[in-house]
Structure formats: C-alpha cells, structure tokens
Amino acid sequence: MFDRGEALALLQLGDSAFPAGGFAFSWGVEGLAADGLLARHDDLDGVIADHLAQRWATMDRILLRRAWRASNTDAISSVDRLAEATTSSAEVRDGSRRAGRALLGVWVKLAKPLSVSYRARVSADPRLGHLAVVQAITGRDAGLSLDAAELVSGWTLITGLVSAAVRLGLIGHIDSQQSLTRARALLSELLTDTPDDDAMPSSFTPFIDIAVSRGPLRHVRMFTT
C-alpha cells in the first residue's frame, strides 16, 4: 500500500534544502579530485559505488539499524561508541560526528523528543553523535519506518557526493542526474539484502579514507571532509 504521508516525508528529509549541514561534507570527493583520482562522471560513479557498497551498506546501515532497535538512550550511546571504535580514520570520525551533530541540532530545534533527550548525552561526551546513529534517532522522531530511514540515509549520502562534485566543477548538472540515476539503482539493489541483526559494522574504502585524512594538509579546501 502506497503511503503518501511517508513518501512526502522522504521528499522533505531527502531534499538537499533540508538544513542538516550536509553541504559542508564531500566525503573524500574533494581530496580525490585534488589527487587526480576523480576527474569525470564515471570516476564519480566509482566513488559512489565504493561508498555505498564498501562503507554505507556494511557499516553505516548496520549502525543505523542497531540504533533503531535500541530501547533507550543508554543503548543508543553504546551503538554510538561502537561507531567511534570501528572508524579507523580520525578525520572520518570527526566528520561523522560533525555531520551527525548538525543533523541532531536541527531536530532539537524542531523539539523532537528523542533528539532532545539524546542531545544531552552528546553534549556530555565528545565521542558521541555519529551520523548513522543520529539518522536512526531522527528517523524515529520523524515517524518513519526503518525501511524509509535506511532509504533517506543512503540517498542523502548519494546526493551529498554528487552535489560536492558539481560544486567543485567536476561534472555538470546533466551528468549529475545520470550519476544519481545509476546510484539510485545500486542503492535499491543493496537495500534488497537485509543484514543480520548481529552483523558487525565494517568498511574498506582505503582511497576515500586517505583522501579525507589528507584534508587538513591541504592549503585550500572547500569542504570539511
């Protein structure tokens, strides 16, 4: 049965205009371009595929699902600490917390109860606030189903990567739509495979992680990651 209310919520939350601060993060696109590893739309498609298949599906989605099932903020914070422990790159950890805290801040301003409650924990512990965990919290506050929350999580990653490439002048708007279409198909395929409840988060995106980690060494940059 088609749920119009949830579909409209997905359009709102997945819109790049939603004020969650995602425009500040390229998740390695800027660094890969600076290193000469990303110059065309097919290069971008490869980066998106790596992000989705080698990190989002095997790590962020796992963390989101664990946080979704958590019964209280104590259990959610345990998932958050797992996100911290399983993210090897300091710069990626920092970017994940910054993006998560920005998103959480929007929902606190909207006075959503779980977000407001968890904000107190995040304020008291600098290790907390990872993006995937906050996506679970805000998805619950938004009244989404788990399937819908996963969809928003994957889609906002895709649009963030494509938007970064457009802003850097790597691709044009037509190429961006083609990349979005191809990435949409991949995300849909990944979502057909449901992870086990006890699956452990893991990722293997070495080139992306190196590109993000080199960010602080660059004299000029547009994005946080």
For 129-171, write each residue's pLDDT tens digit: 999 999 999 999 999 999 999 999 999 999 999 999 999 999 9
CA angle 138/103/95 to nearest 5° reads: 125
Q: Could you tell me the pTM of the whole model? A: 0.93
Band (pLDDT 50/70/90 cuts) for residue 2 is: low
Q: Could you give the CA distance from residue 176 to residue 163 in angstroms, rounded to a whole number?
A: 8
pLDDT of 21 reads: 67
Domains of the chain: 26-217 (1.10.4190.10)
Tokens matching residue 119: 């904000």
pLDDT of 123 reads: 94
The angle that helices 61-69 and 131-141 make with each other, rounded to 10 degrees, is 50
Band (pLDDT 50/70/90 cuts) for residue 55 is: very high
pLDDT at 40 over 90: no
